[in-house]
Amino acid sequence: MKLIEAIIKPFKLDEVKDALNEIGIEGITVSEVKGFGRQKGHTELYRGAEYVVDFIPKIKLEIAVSDDLLGKVIETIQTTARTGRIGDGKIFVLPLEDAVRIRTGESGGDAI
């Protein structure tokens, strides 16, 4: 099992969610986060004054998947979230030691 953490642009969330549903992913955790990478934020005008926005709003997806679905999920997120511009995001893959469904007590692959 693996845990996929993907950081994407907020306006791509619905498109990515729908694409993941189409390939059979049923569970996703979504968080609103802020951060920056190479783009280092941007400047904005507010009431005539210019100021720097260091942290840019992003969406963080967390998806627990079996090893056989890993490649398909990564490819789906990558193709759906891509705009071709800086700040499209990142995908991280972490080993997932175990998972337990609280309601039934199922564990491992049966829990995801």
Where exactly are the structural domains of the chain? Answer: 2-111
For domain 2-111, which architecture applies?
A: 2-Layer Sandwich (3.30)
Model confidence band, residue 1 (pLDDT cutoffs 50, 70, 90): very high
Query: Rounded to two decimals, what is the model's pTM?
Result: 0.86
Mean pLDDT value of segment 57-79: 96
Residue 77 has φ and ψ, to the nearest 5°, of -65, -45
pLDDT of residue 23: 96
pLDDT at 55 over 70: yes
Cβ(94)–Cβ(62) under 8 Å? no
pLDDT of residue 43: 67
Per the prediction, the chain carries an average pLDDT of: 91
pLDDT of residue 74: 98
HSE-up of residue 41 (Cα within 13 Å, Cβ side): 9
pLDDT of residue 7: 97
Only one residue has tokens 């030691």, namely 97
